[in-house]
Amino acid sequence: MIAPAESNPLFQPGQLVRHRRYGYRGVIVELDLHCRASDNWYENNQTQPAKNQPWYHVLVDGSNISTYAAQTSLEADTSVDQIDHPLVCVFFSDFTGKAYLRNDRPWT
């Protein structure tokens, strides 16, 4: 059984973020209060950040890739540049100049 998350989510859907280690920019689509990936996926993850923290589904800028990143791996991105990803228009209705407005389409 997983204990309650150690911290509250620092980021929300629509927020622009940057990965601390890999440097990519992205936009958060969805969050989980703890890692919900399979044990096999987690064990094959190169960095293995703590499972007991918020994890985020992120659309990666300039690609068609989405990632699943731990809160400690992300930081707020202060850029006002929009994200170039084919699924942005699927999950977001508008860009405010600082963040995207999440629509009600489910991630899964």
Tens-place pLDDT, residues 10-26:
999 999 999 999 999 99
Tens-place pLDDT, residues 16-56:
999 999 999 999 999 999 999 888 878 887 778 889 999 99
Could you tell me if 42 and 32 are in contact, meaning their C-beta atoms sit under 8 angstroms apart?
no
- What tokens does 74 get? 């992300």
What structural domains does the chain harbor?
A: 16-102 (2.30.30)
The phi-psi region of residue 68 (left if phi > 0; otherwise alpha if psi is between -120 and 50; otherwise beta) is beta
- What is the rounded distance in angstroms from the CA atom of residue 104 to the CA atom of residue 72? 27
49 burial level (CB within 10 Å; 0-12, 13-18, 19+): middle
Whose CA is closest to 18, among 88, 104, 79?
Answer: 79
Stretch 93-106: mean pLDDT, rounded?
96
Q: Quickly list H helices, the chain.
A: 39-44, 88-91
Q: Is the pLDDT of residue 2 over 50?
A: no
Tens-place pLDDT, residues 69-82:
999 999 999 998 99
Query: Would you state the pLDDT for residue 46?
Result: 77
